[in-house]
Structure 1
Amino acid sequence: MKPLAEIAAVLCGIQDPKTMDQFLRELFTGGELATLELRWRLLKDLFDGTPQRKIAETHRISLCKITRGSKVLKKRGSVVRKILEAARGDHHEHEPHDEPVPPP
């Protein structure tokens, strides 16, 4: 089994959030966890329709870093988007946008 597949299998086997938290803290450094948390926050912000420039300003990161997250959410069959939809209780496919749509 390839290392990434093995890690994925281990993660799938952890059912308890406290155990998962401890596992992640043991596996990653503080800096790595901060990077992971930032990536998750920006994905959630993008999913919620926050403009990329606002995300860049809020989190003090370049637009280039946000572009990857935007591409992930726009990709057909995005697992990240499906997870965010499920967390929010969406029953239809959510199509995020980069800038707010002005009212008619």
Structure 2
Amino acid sequence: MAEEIQTLPNYITLATAAKLLGRKTQTLRNERDKGNLVCYRMGGVDYTTYQNIKDMFELCRVEPNPRASFSGRDKVVRRSMSSSTEATRQARATALNAAKKLKSS
């Protein structure tokens, strides 16, 4: 029995984990609710492991944004309107044509 207990991962409370990370406990609860942090509840107390916290950081990783500006060599052709605006304009034109046909018949 003692050998089995020693092989268990190191469980810590969310409050302890929050103190170690310099965050509020509610922040970790929010990550738990989003599905980013695996927790275990026993006796109304939430526990997690160091590995679960490391995994949470990987899940919360932010990808770098593309460059906002370009040099002269990296010219980008930009459209004057977005594709969603163009699609909306085409749908509106189609609807107006259908309405005209219904009025004339």
TM-score (norm 1): 0.24
Structure having the higher strand fraction is 2
Q: Which has the larger radius of gyration?
A: 2
Structure having the higher helix fraction is 1
TM-score (norm 2): 0.24
